[in-house]
Chains A and B, each alone.
Chain A
Amino acid sequence: MSTKSIDLTLEIWRQKDSKSKGDFEKYSLENISTGMSFLEMLDVLNENLTGRGLDPVAFDHDCREGICGMCGAVINGIAHGPEPETTLCQLHMRHFNDGDILVIEPFRSRAFPIHKDLITDRSALDRIIQAGGYVSVNTGGTPDGNAIPIPSATAESAMDAAACIGCGACVASCPNGAAMLFTGAKISQLSLLPQGQPERKERAMAMVTTMDKEGFGNCTNERECEAVCPKRVSIANIARMNREFVKAALLG
């Protein structure tokens, strides 16, 4: 694929720390190769800024191959940018045109306080996991891989839910700031498999309660989460979470 160079105008949310009030700042970038990823484009911007003695734009990133869930920002109103099923690091500049204006905002929600610029504190998701996203395993030798038979269809559904990388795009894009897709995926993944059965009921109750406590909103089935999810986690997982929660609440 041939690469070309494009010029861009960026409007980026700049915020010094969690206490200060942020605002947008405009930057012009020239000669951006369309072969670059979005984060590499930000790297170029930061090199320019550092060279001019200015504070570089802080953004989260780690693996840069779309599997760790660390990166993420809202580009022109869409979490992880305009390409479906793509994390920000895997979004390439060839999807943009010369002269585009890109508004880059952090993942926002009441439960996601902003640390600095594009970095948001997503530890509320970790606390949902801590509340029930675990299984009990007896210590000892390594268990045999096929000791517990699992039907192929069940394993596939569990794997589809387990594809969630916890990036928080679902929360960021939800008009209600809800974390139901994330929590639904985690509850589904464990409740589908035999290994997750012992804590099944406590898990559903604890994770849903923690989700509410952390200040996330409620699901009104707008489907935005599913549309922006880089791993295409389905809202069928939210339906499963609802079933798990009702079962746990009614049957105890």
Chain B
Amino acid sequence: MACSGFLLILFLCSHAAGNATLFSSVALFQAYADMLHSHPLIVSMFSKGLLLVFIIHIVTGALLFLQNRRARSQGYKVQRRAVKNSQASATMIYSGLTILLFVLLHTYVVSFGNHKTIGETIVNLFSSFFVSIFYIVSFIGLAIHLSHGFWSMLQTFGINHPRYNSFIQRLSYLMPIFFLLIFGSIPLLFLFGTGQ
């Protein structure tokens, strides 16, 4: 879970970096995509590797969910949490499923969609209000997922030390917000007609 999560965060970083070209212009983004696709071996290796990591993350996550539900076979009449702000950790499976739905639709439209160039697809896609809102909602789901996932990953790796804990805590707020800003501002950019 933590290992595949770590690889997925690395993927998010590279995806965010690629998307950031859209802040400059669609043409630059198109050039970036063309450059990537001029190395078919790299694209094929990374996309298949990514698919594998995704599947590992989903399967281990689903197994954890099912095993843990069985271990907590009897619930309590009064359900209360002693921890405050536990919404993100308690809903990992649901924020995860939201992201899965998004990823399926996103790859379907962007990779297998009927279009000439990726640049045109992006412009078309985000001209629709509902599509843009769907993207932004999914990114909020991603941010919630990451707000628990990032810290949880470090804890699973055994990285928990009084010297670093306050830094880790700050990072687990800032990192999801960073991704939300980068990814979320792109649909907004096109929705308000400022993207070119």
> Per-position contact with B for A71-114: 1 when CB-CB < 8 Å, else 0?
00010111100001000000000000000000101001111000
Closest residue of A by beta carbon distance from B151: A221
What separation, in Å, do the CA atoms of A122 and B68 have in the docked complex? 18
Asked whether, in the complex, the Cβ of A236 is within 8 Å of the Cβ of B160, the reply is yes
> Per-position contact with A for B155-194: 1 when CB-CB < 8 Å, else 0?
1111111100000000000000000000000000000000
Within the complex, what minimum Cβ distance (angstroms) separates B98 from chain A? Answer: 18
Asked whether, in the complex, the Cβ of B161 is within 8 Å of the Cβ of A177, the reply is no
Closest residue of B by beta carbon distance from A245: B158
Closest residue of B by beta carbon distance from A102: B78
Contact of B71 among A74, A76, A111, A228 (CB under 8 A): A111
What separation, in Å, do the CA atoms of A177 and B70 have in the docked complex? 9
Within the complex, what minimum Cβ distance (angstroms) separates B78 from chain A? Answer: 4
A152-182, CB < 8 A from B: 173-178
Question: Known interface pairs A105-B77, A175-B72. Does A223 touch B89 (Cβ–Cβ under 8 Å)?
Answer: yes
Q: Does A249 contact B (CB under 8 A)?
A: no
Asked whether, in the complex, the Cβ of B152 is within 8 Å of the Cβ of A76, the reply is no
Contact of B67 among A24, A218, A246 (CB under 8 A): A218
> Per-position contact with A for B132-164: 1 when CB-CB < 8 Å, else 0?
000000000000000010011001111111100
Asked whether, in the complex, the Cβ of B76 is within 8 Å of the Cβ of A108, the reply is yes
Number of inter-chain CB pairs below 8 Å:
103
Question: Known interface pairs A175-B90, A220-B152. Does A110 touch B72 (Cβ–Cβ under 8 Å)?
Answer: yes
Question: Known interface pairs A103-B77, A221-B155. Does A228 touch B82 (Cβ–Cβ under 8 Å)?
Answer: yes
Within the complex, what minimum Cβ distance (angstroms) separates A41 from chain B? Answer: 18
Asked whether, in the complex, the Cβ of B72 is within 8 Å of the Cβ of A221, the reply is no
Asked whether, in the complex, the Cβ of B89 is within 8 Å of the Cβ of A222, the reply is yes
Asked whether, in the complex, the Cβ of B160 is within 8 Å of the Cβ of A176, the reply is no
Residue numbers in A under 8 Å from B148 (CB-CB) = 221
What separation, in Å, do the CA atoms of A77 and B77 have in the docked complex? 7
What separation, in Å, do the CA atoms of A111 and B70 have in the docked complex? 11
Residue numbers in A under 8 Å from B78 (CB-CB) = 74, 76-77, 103, 105
B57-88, CB < 8 A from A: 64, 67-68, 70-83, 86
User: Which range contains the number of B residues in contact with the other chain?
Assistant: 20 to 34
Please give the number of chain A residues whose Cβ is less than 8 angstroms from any Cβ of chain B in the complex. 40
Residue numbers in A under 8 Å from B90 (CB-CB) = 175, 222
Asked whether, in the complex, the Cβ of B156 is within 8 Å of the Cβ of A177, the reply is no
Asked whether, in the complex, the Cβ of A240 is within 8 Å of the Cβ of B158, the reply is yes
Asked whether, in the complex, the Cβ of B68 is within 8 Å of the Cβ of A178, the reply is yes
Closest residue of A by beta carbon distance from B161: A236
Contact of A77 among B73, B76, B151 (CB under 8 A): B76
What separation, in Å, do the CA atoms of A240 and B157 have in the docked complex? 9
Question: Known interface pairs A221-B148, A224-B82, A235-B155. Does A110 touch B76 (Cβ–Cβ under 8 Å)?
Answer: no
Within the complex, what minimum Cβ distance (angstroms) separates B93 from chain A? Answer: 10
Closest residue of A by beta carbon distance from B61: A220
Residue numbers in B under 8 Å from A238 (CB-CB) = 155, 160
Asked whether, in the complex, the Cβ of B71 is within 8 Å of the Cβ of A78, the reply is no
Contact of A215 among B71, B75, B151 (CB under 8 A): B71
Asked whether, in the complex, the Cβ of A218 is within 8 Å of the Cβ of B68, the reply is yes
What separation, in Å, do the CA atoms of A222 and B71 have in the docked complex? 15
Asked whether, in the complex, the Cβ of A109 is within 8 Å of the Cβ of B89, the reply is no
Question: Known interface pairs A74-B76, A222-B86, A222-B90. Does A110 touch B156 (Cβ–Cβ under 8 Å)?
Answer: no
Extra pairs beyond A176-B72, A223-B83 (14, CB < 8 Å): A78-B82, A103-B78, A105-B76, A108-B74, A110-B71, A175-B90, A177-B73, A218-B67, A220-B64, A221-B148, A222-B86, A235-B160, A242-B157, A242-B158
- Chain B interface residues (CB < 8 Å from chain A): 64, 67-68, 70-83, 86, 89-90, 92, 148, 151-152, 155-162
6 contacts between A and B (CB under 8 A): A108-B74, A110-B71, A220-B64, A222-B86, A227-B82, A243-B158
- Chain A interface residues (CB < 8 Å from chain B): 11, 24, 74, 76-79, 84, 103, 105, 108-111, 173-178, 215-224, 227-228, 235-236, 238-240, 242-243, 246
